[in-house]
A and B are shown apart, each in its own frame.
Chain A
Amino acid sequence: MSGIINSAGSKSGIIGETTMRYEEGFFTPTWNVSVSGGTTYGYYVRKGNEVTIYVQWNGTYSGSISSIQSLPFNLDNASAGYSAGMTFNNSSGTGGISRFEDTEWLYTGSIPQASGNLVMATGSYVTDSP
């Protein structure tokens, strides 16, 4: 709590303020599969210790995508496996349950290669970084 209470007892300034870290920016996601071409886009918003990431990619890959790597902030392992949600969209369909594990964002299934690939995902996790 912070603020100023003057001698007359009236309130001024900010009462009950909690300083919360906020940051937004970009990162370059990598994948568990070989990729070529396309545009990779990674955006993050950090509020306090919560990090939300948005990923989009439209290149060509071989195999099936099952994880996104190169997270922007370190994952708090205490929250691993609990703090994720993900949706993939491509011409093969959408949806999915996912989780974060240490350095990776894992999809419980896999996203098969499809024509007109557009992979989009968003999810949140807790970081233990300062």
Chain B
Amino acid sequence: MSLTFNKLEVVSEFNKIQVRETDENGKYWRRIVYPDMDVSSEVQEIQDKAEELWTDEVKSAWTTHKAEQEAKLKE
């Protein structure tokens, strides 16, 4: 299956990038790209948005948030 980039949306205070793609049949596929992810294999639009929004401060805040969430879930 081949997916083609369709659009992106930026969500939450952590600037997560919500991605919509389409397959050969025109069906939508969704996924979220998080600030700790490697975007080097993503399309240029996503790389550019990540570069623009994912400052060190945002990445650090996301990492801290994730760690807090994981700790909370283990309680």
Contacts and interface: CB of A to CB of B under 8 A. Distances in A.
B41 interface: no
B62 to A, nearest CB: 10
Q: Contact size class for B?
A: 10 to 19
Interface string A67-103: 0001111100100000000000000000000000111
Q: Contact size class for A?
A: 20 to 34
B18 A129 contact: yes
A26 B30 contact: yes
A24 B16 CA distance: 21
Contacts of A101: 69, 72-73
A44 B11 contact: no
Interface of A: 23-28, 44, 70-74, 77, 101-104, 106, 128-130
20 contacts: A24-B28, A25-B27, A25-B29, A26-B23, A26-B28, A26-B29, A27-B29, A28-B31, A70-B31, A73-B32, A74-B11, A74-B12, A74-B16, A74-B32, A103-B34, A103-B69, A104-B73, A129-B9, A129-B11, A129-B18
Interface of B: 9, 11-12, 16, 18, 20, 23, 27-32, 34, 65-66, 69, 72-73
